Chains A and B, each alone.
Chain A
């Protein structure tokens, strides 16, 4: 099933609008506006942008949680139907999995870690019983948790551990692509470093492809080879990570880079362009 050298993800002309507000204040927000991108097999593409720029919407369309108004998604060489039937959704899930931002909400608080992972194993690989038990331990081991954690409820785990479980659950489907939507944003620096290392290690070991959504340019530098910068639903800049971070061309990328605190940094006003923030 390898499409060596090819692109695992090919997205072209993606558009998605949402209707917001009600009554006379009703209007449409363009969350994705003609978004095209491709991700090479085994690489990591970072998607950065301010909140509301459409990053999450892009991820949701890609994994099939949301339907685009226009555009095409080709996943592992297969075009993805915009109204997939259940069998199709199931086979897409074996190609692509997602890790969500909020570690707390990504696990059912009444089911154990083991139950969460077993559900995915049973759904995609018909692994049950003692086999599943063994697989759960393997997966937990891969994300640096102990077998004992299998019986824990999410409430008994720290944020970092919950996020590891979410990663283990995604890996259980043995996907080729992992979409990570601000997956480390809610974690403390020390835990964030652990999870970032873990993700890098897993990618190497399993030859996974990542779509890594973040608003943190330092994280972009650490994890990705390529990056796209989004603003108001559009991709405003793209290129290799070092090129975009070292020599940003679009003024918005420059602003993003200059806004990130680092040694010697001073906060500053970007000449009063905040007028657009007032929504009416």
Chain B
């Protein structure tokens, strides 16, 4: 049985100008021990998808569809059951570790009390375990770390402490929302290595949100690409890199500069990302898609599963060869000048980061 299964999850949020769709039917599944990356541009709904799992969506949000944890729908859980799930089965780490820690508690207090509360361990046992956990997330000077207040630790150290707390209950599922975005590349590498190690050691499944396709490729078994509140492609990293089946994935891959070679001009995705509630029928990506055909504006593509991967594009079969081609450049006759699109009036993404 899958640890996590989202089935046609939709999320609407009431706003001054009527209800706004933020998620438009997200379906995905996570096998035990599997890592699934959730990738997409800012505002595409990555964090929202994550938040439906532990029911931490913004107040007033209406969520439909099913969210199954080990086969049981979390949307129907009462407060006590939800707390149990949060304490034992599923933990979440976020972009900003500082927000997760109480600034007036030392790390030792934070960890030990968490362990005592959640698992009813004795103080001694909890302290021993906390030290052990810190050592295992790669903290060299455990004593010093235990005695420090959050403000005395760097972001990388803090994220390790948060990870230590997160894996303490040996959860079956870890929800990670851009855990390394605030960190340096060198620290990111270490934190990801620790997360990876813990995951393999405990057989923990992970839903990993990031905007970095390369990072997701390195640590995930499969990757789901999100656009405007729906999944447009799911595949393994190898499949994605070798032969993306959705135009958006292809363009995302191309627009990232490479560390090994310089492009005379970076291929760009014309226009700006649109929000889920701006989609007006047809393919959500049609306005920016260099391969768009007249029917793309009319017919809404469905997520089609095929050979272990899934794509939401009306033309993905015809385009398969073209999208798989190694040469970028050729598809992007646009210069950056004409790609600015409309001014965005309601970018509410600040609220989420």
- Tell me whether A188 and B336 are in contact in the complex, defined as CB-CB below 8 angstroms, given that A161-B344, A255-B186, A279-B153 are known contacts: no
* A222 at interface, CB cutoff 8 A: yes
State whether A190 touches B336 (Cβ < 8 A): no
State whether B252 touches A190 (Cβ < 8 A): yes
Select which of A50, A190, A196, A257 is within 8 A of B259 by beta carbon: A257
Query: For the complex, would chain A's binding face be called helix, strand, loop or mixed by DSSP majority?
Result: helix
Q: Which residues of A contact B263 (CB under 8 A)?
A: 222
* B335 at interface, CB cutoff 8 A: yes
CB proximity to B under 8 Å, residues A145-192: 145-146, 149, 152, 156-161, 164, 188-192
What distance in Å separates the Cβ of A273 from its nearest Cβ neighbour in chain B?
8
State whether A265 touches B218 (Cβ < 8 A): yes
Q: Which residues of A contact B219 (CB under 8 A)?
A: 267
Select which of B252, B261, B336 is within 8 A of A198 by beta carbon: B336
Separation of A263 and B213 alpha carbons in the complex (Å): 10
State whether A277 touches B267 (Cβ < 8 A): no
State whether A196 touches B339 (Cβ < 8 A): no
What distance in Å separates the Cβ of A117 from its nearest Cβ neighbour in chain B?
16
* A129 at interface, CB cutoff 8 A: no
Which B residue's beta carbon lies closest to that of A158?
A: B344
- Tell me whether A161 and B259 are in contact in the complex, defined as CB-CB below 8 angstroms, given that A144-B338, A200-B265 are known contacts: no
The interface bits of chain B over 102-145 (1 if a CB of A lies within 8 angstroms of the residue's CB, else 0) are 00000000000000000000000000000000000011110011
- Among B3-11, B64-72, B188-196, the one that faces the other chain is B188-196
* A23 at interface, CB cutoff 8 A: no
The interface bits of chain B over 149-193 (1 if a CB of A lies within 8 angstroms of the residue's CB, else 0) are 000111011000000000000000000000000001111111111
State whether B255 touches A193 (Cβ < 8 A): yes
* A37 at interface, CB cutoff 8 A: no
State whether B185 touches A259 (Cβ < 8 A): yes
Q: Which residues of A contact B218 (CB under 8 A)?
A: 261, 265-267
State whether A190 touches B268 (Cβ < 8 A): yes
State whether B258 touches A261 (Cβ < 8 A): no
Which B residue's beta carbon lies closest to that of A142?
A: B337
State whether B185 touches A260 (Cβ < 8 A): yes
What distance in Å separates the Cβ of B257 from its nearest Cβ neighbour in chain A?
4
Select which of B41, B148, B157, B268 is within 8 A of A274 by beta carbon: B157
Q: With A157-B343, A274-B139 given, name 7 new contacts (CB 8 A).
A: A156-B343, A188-B42, A221-B260, A261-B218, A262-B214, A267-B218, A277-B153
Write 22 A-B pairs (CB below 8 A) sorted by A numbering: A50-B187, A144-B336, A144-B338, A146-B340, A158-B344, A161-B340, A193-B257, A193-B336, A194-B336, A197-B336, A217-B259, A221-B261, A261-B188, A262-B214, A262-B260, A267-B188, A267-B191, A267-B192, A269-B194, A274-B139, A274-B190, A278-B152
